[in-house]
Amino acid sequence: MMGYIDFKAAAGEKDHSQVRVDLIDKVYDHLKLPDSTFLGTRITKKMLIDNNELSSHDKKLVTDVIQSIEWRNTLKPDTVNISIYATDTVEYLEVAVIRVVLKAGKKHKDRLTNITKLLHTLIPYPVVLLAELQDELAISLADKRINQADKTKLVIEHIYNSDWLHAEKLSNNENDFLNDFSLANISSLNYFELYQDLISMLIGLKASRISGNYESKNSSISQSTNKPEAQVGSEKNGTSTSSDFSEKSNEDKIALLQKLERLEAELASIRNKLKKETQMNIKLRLNVEAQKIKQEIAAIRNELK
């Protein structure tokens, strides 16, 4: 079992040659990818730009935002002893680990969604994408399924991006997530189960911003410092106040989080209408709607705790 790492401190360490260790390097090392999976192949920007399927907008994105791309590792039966998984709808024959470095500049932080979508679309495998922007790191994964109209292609169902992570600004939940994010903590049954476990970790990170607690697969990670006092107390007594959110499928988890976002947007819209509304009967109706949505939001938030 791996020990707990303080990534904030670890990323500031220096090796024997006095070179600063970046957060992305520490996270990459912690992934515990076997040496047999190392590829180390550079993907040139020209290779992307020459792709006839790229729009002029995407080509400009590659030119203006991307500094470099490296195909670091390939996980497949030839490189690590894990089984493939293939059905009529999904195909997990291998998993690619890609490191992309973005050009310096705060404006490029907002292009993460565009960059990750582009690379997940271009690479015909499930991808663990490690994006680097100066001292910050973002992790991206994507569910893909077989295109039923053209079974030689995969289409993206959903992209999961972390926020930009900075060693000196990591929250406890983010630190717990990075400790969790390793091959040592996920299924080795087949590549589908392996990749879904990684997705579950990213969803868990997103949910932790609401619950205040990241639920780790690695039982050696202590999370009691993030838990409300009442919850910690109930666990000491042999009971638990947590919901079964962690038992849900990734599809159900993300659907619940998306519903919460939608309800919060609806509530914000109603509040804006209330500020402008002058007719009392309409105000009363909007207040009733707002109250109903608040109850739904509270129920979901309680389920995430």
Q: How confident is the model over 182-202, as pLDDT tens digits?
A: 999 999 999 999 999 999 999
Do 120 and 60 fall within a single domain? yes
d(Cα 109, Cα 138) in Å, to the nearest integer? 10
Residue 227 falls inside a structural domain:
no
pTM, rounded to two decimals: 0.86
Q: Provide φ and ψ at 135, rounded to 5°.
A: -90, 10
Query: What average pLDDT does the structure give for the chain?
Result: 88
* In-domain check, residue 225: no
Please, are residues 129 and 141 in contact by the beta-carbon 8 Å criterion?
A: yes
Return the axis-axis angle of helices 280-304 and 250-276, rounded to nearest 10°.
150
Tell me whether residue 168 is in a domain.
yes
Last residue of a domain, one of 191, 211, 231: 211
Q: How confident is the model at residue 7 (pLDDT cuts 50, 70, 90)?
A: very high
Tens digits of residue pLDDT in 64-93: 999 999 999 999 999 999 999 999 999 999
Please, which pLDDT band fits residue 20 given cuts at 50, 70 and 90?
low
**Domain end (from 162, 192, 211):** 211
Whether residue 167 sits in one domain with residue 117: yes
Number of domains in the chain: 2
Residues 6+ apart with CB under 8 A from 255: none
- For residues 78 and 141, state if they share a domain: yes
Label residue 52 by pLDDT band (50, 70, 90). Answer: confident
- 22 secondary structure, DSSP code: P
Decide if 218 is inside a domain: no
Average pLDDT over residues 160-179: 95
**Could you list the residue range(s) of the whole structural domain that residue 147 is in?**
7-211
Residue 196 lies in a domain: yes
Q: Whole-angstrom distance between the N-terminal and C-terminal Cα of the chain?
A: 26
